[in-house]
A and B are shown apart, each in its own frame.
Chain A
Amino acid sequence: MSVDKLRRRKSAPPAKRTPADDRSCPGCQSHYRAEEMRRNLRVCPVCGHHFPVSARERLDQLAEGAEWRELWPELRASDPLQFVDLQPYPDRLERAEAGGLGEAIVCAELTVGGQACIVATMDFGFLGGSMGSVVGEKLARACDRSVERHLPLVIFTASGGARMQEGVLALMQMAKSVVAFEAMQDAELPIVVVLCHPTTGGVWASFAALGDVTYAEPGALIAFSGPRVIEQTTRERLPDDFGRAEVQKANGQVDDVVDRRDLVARISAVLAILGRPAGDTAAPAMAWAQLHAEKARTMAQGLPTLSKRLVSRVLGADEETSPR
């Protein structure tokens, strides 16, 4: 055995950089008590590292102490494919549900910084925040409820993408979520999307990319394909900050990177700008009717002269030609 090899063995093992638990900051190694973490909104006050937040805690943060009520908690995933990978899908679901959530998204009607809105929050802790049939259905219902109550919609995303275990039905939830947003389009209601770590795959390639105003939390990974997939497929070496919120802002993919401690203020500020007094809803309908009447006139002018001749024959030539 060479001397080098012996020496190398002696110098190992390298210092462990990974923190011992989820209350130690991976950025600066500061350690916090559970209560401190909650009070700091799970942001490290020393270096500003953003820890993941569960859906329920996020809603508590937004509600600032007010009571809120979960909408449609009775919706649960089913197992249409009888899917088994390394373990059966129902077993995975059961373990995830033991954490206290019914699904990877929690919806509620809240007042955020004085602005009433419908909030949908994804939870990465529930099967990687993956989008299955329930997530699609809850999003669709959240949009319908927004329209019904004439409120804006605020969505917090944190997801690895479509839920593999529901197969092609999970893929279709991408289309379903886009359909859901169409209701908001018709009702002329705003959608604010906050991209949290991580927002990837089918979620970023559907509703998460279609908000009217899109914020991202610092350090959030935002990508359609994750860095591991890209490195495996293209053999490119990616920079460490690949797809991070700050980079995606520079790429023009998000409106701003917003610190979690400023989120409530920023969301309520933008909703305040967009707010309209109630009872103002006839104006858009009038504008729409005028626009389409104009369009119909232009198209009628373009109709071939043959049909004009037909019209005159039906109406009688004298009516068409003789001026009265």
Chain B
Amino acid sequence: MTPRRGGRFVRRLAHRIGGGTPDTASAVWETVQLARHQDRPYPLDYIERLSPQFEELHGDRLYGDDPAIVAGLGRYRDEPVAIIGHQKGRDARDRAYRNFGMPGPEGYRKAMRVMAIADKLNMPVITLIDTPGAFPGAGAEERGQGGAIARSMQVMLRLRVPTVAVVIGEGSSGGALALGVTDRVVMLENATYSVISPEGGAAILWRDAGKARDAAAAFQPTAATCYRWGIADSVVPEPPGGAHKDHDEAARLLDGYLSRVLRELSALSPADRRRQRRERYRRLGAFRELPLTDGAAVAAGRLEPPSRNGTP
């Protein structure tokens, strides 16, 4: 077979995944920087290229409109689709308007509203994830930030239509996962997906936000890690140097993957999709099962770990 770009990428990725050794701190930090690069394509950049006749919808019909989430209806490969994504701003004014891609509950409720339309009209849902997390603010809390994220996940699990999530930049915390409970999750080569942003993790665990580099190295939020654990189903290559170098090429590479996976998913029945989606998340986790050493203690109603003092 003639060597192709994809071939080289696959080899590079296989090396990183199969190597077993975690990426070095500097390599991880470089990925974090790339994932947040200010010239990196955002959802509207992908939408412009993949679905030019996009009709953006606004408002959650309850309280307001959240510019940190872009949601609407478009045509992709001559089929109707719903596209939802976290939108960051590029210049200072735009960034403040988009709230740095940190949605409040209105954003997630808007997303749920658009998902409901997609479910009703039987069109696939594509989500594009790129957020440092849901917005931490008193107003967001009052209007039910936690519940909005939880319900968004629940709505996504119940959709009958095919759903695909693409982590295009940084995916941090529940704010990212709220749009990420889908049939397939794919990460771009330099995207990150983590329980919390490196700065947030450093502030909590090291009590020093300046230790973000150490936190990033510890969390290993790279595509290779997520692929190894089955959190990401595939990794899509980026143009040489990163997606910010060539938006058209980045969109073209994503297009190749998306069209294939949507075809694959639409071949399944709605019930199968929903069942497989549930099973996908039910499986995730890493834990040990100890052999039960003291059956008598269990039968008596209390199991204390052997050779340790019980609770005082």
Contacts and interface: CB of A to CB of B under 8 A. Distances in A.
Interface of A: 54, 56, 67-70, 73-78, 80-86, 97-100, 102, 132-134, 136-137, 140, 162-164, 166-176, 178-182, 201-202, 204-210, 222-225, 229-230, 232-234, 236, 238, 242-243, 251-253
Interface residues of B, number: 69
B262 to A, nearest CB: 21
A33 B83 CA distance: 60
B285 interface: yes
A154 to B, nearest CB: 18
A178 B150 contact: yes
13 contacts: A133-B287, A164-B205, A167-B225, A168-B219, A168-B226, A169-B286, A178-B150, A179-B281, A204-B146, A208-B150, A223-B141, A224-B141, A251-B144
Contact of B145 (A81, A170, A205): A205
Interface stretch (B40-48, B90-98, B245-253, B302-310): B302-310
Contacts of B304: 100
B286 A230 contact: no
B218 interface: yes
Interface string B258-282: 0000000000000000000010011
Which of B150, B194, B290, B303 neighbours the largest number of chain A CB atoms within 10 Å of its CB? B150
Contact of B308 (A85, A86, A98, A243): A98
A56 B195 contact: no
B188 interface: no
Given A169-B286, A210-B151, A253-B144, A102 B181 contact: no
A165 B214 CA distance: 13
B138 A172 contact: no
Given A81-B220, A204-B150, A205-B147, 15 more contacts: A70-B302, A76-B287, A77-B288, A164-B195, A166-B286, A167-B219, A169-B229, A171-B193, A175-B284, A178-B157, A181-B154, A210-B147, A234-B136, A251-B142, A253-B144
Contacts of B225: 167-168
A205 B145 CA distance: 7
Closest 10 CB pairs of A and B: A225-B136, A133-B285, A204-B146, A85-B205, A205-B149, A209-B150, A209-B147, A80-B286, A224-B146, A100-B311
A100 B205 contact: no
Nearest to A144: B282
Interface in B5-33: 22
B221 interface: yes
B292 interface: yes
Contact of A69 (B193, B200, B219, B301): B301
B35 to A, nearest CB: 14
A235 to B, nearest CB: 11
Nearest to B154: A178
Nearest to A239: B138
B289 interface: yes
Given A77-B288, A84-B218, A99-B311, A171 B177 contact: yes
A206 B285 contact: no
A162 B146 CA distance: 13
B116 interface: no
Contact of A224 (B153, B174, B196, B292): B174
A175 B146 contact: no
Contact of A175 (B143, B177, B298): B177
Contacts of B174: 162, 171, 174, 201-202, 205-206, 224
A229 to B, nearest CB: 5
Contacts of A173: 284-285
